[in-house]
Amino acid sequence: MLSYDRLQARPRELLAVTGLTVEEFERLLPAFERAYAQKYPPERTLAGTVRQRQAGGGAKGQLRGFANKLLFMLVYHKTNPLQTLHGLQFNLSQGQANYWIHHLLPVLQQALRDLGQTPARAADGVAASALAQEGGPDLVIDGTERPRQRPQDKTRQKEHYSGKKKTHTDKNILLVNEHSGKVAYLSETVAGKTHDKKAADEAQIVYPRGATLSKDTGFQGYEPPGVLTAQPKKSRGDRH
């Protein structure tokens, strides 16, 4: 069974399963506790009524303590396992894992927002984003696709069918800070068939002053004003 007490002494393993160092985990934990108290006030039940007995009474669950609750959510997001498998890692049933995922997701999201660690969702917010400028505004742009259920409408089937992935997908445009490795911007979701450059053009991203932007061939011709772009050239061997 995974627990923070065990992984705290194994920093490389903690990093592998959460994407965070021990120091980063410890910085996030207090914000997670505060966000939990705001979302689920200890003097009230989950239904919103005043508690008749002290919080923490009754049967004890497997996710004891905020550190293990945070670990549970970070591992889920980092490794993207099936709920049954994720439950096994924390000695939970699939139903219990499902409950805790939905119970804790808004808490983690709020904690990250409070710490300024969530990517900008508005394209005009990138210029002022601390995540975009951490260490310098040197960014990488990329398009990411994820599978989705096949639409029933034939027109939407064509829009979402990705020839690259050979399945129906949704797409987002990402900006990643080269220094920190953090996602600074996450675009609105578009149909998987949408070309990367077209999706970036339509997003109308406003970049920080003096920004540099690394891009691949999917963004050839994408030259936002005031930004120095760089696109690796293919070697002769890559053309075969």
pLDDT digits (tens, 9 = 90+) for 191-233: 999 999 999 999 999 999 999 999 999 999 999 999 999 988 7
CA gap 90, 1 in Å, rounded? 5
pLDDT score for 188: 95
Q: Are 123 and 172 in contact (CB under 8 A)?
A: no
pLDDT score for 237: 58
| Confidence label for 152 from pLDDT (cuts 50, 70 and 90) | confident
CA gap 164, 194 in Å, rounded? 11
pLDDT score for 60: 53
Other C-beta atoms within 10 Å of 49: how many?
8
pLDDT score for 53: 61
Ordered by start, the domain boundaries in the chain are 4-52+62-114, 123-233
pLDDT score for 236: 59
Record the tokens describing residue 227, joined without a space: 């930004």
Percent of the chain with pLDDT strictly greater than 70: 90
Q: Are 29 and 70 in contact (CB under 8 A)?
A: yes
Which H helix or E strand runs over 18? helix 11-18
How is 152-182 classified by DSSP, letter by letter?
SSHHHHHHHEETTTTEEEEEEEEEEETTT--
Q: Helix axis angle, 66-79 relative to 94-114, nearest 10°?
A: 100
User: How far is CA 94 from each of CA 66, 77, 97, 140, 181, rounded to the nearest angstrom?
Assistant: 20, 16, 5, 37, 32
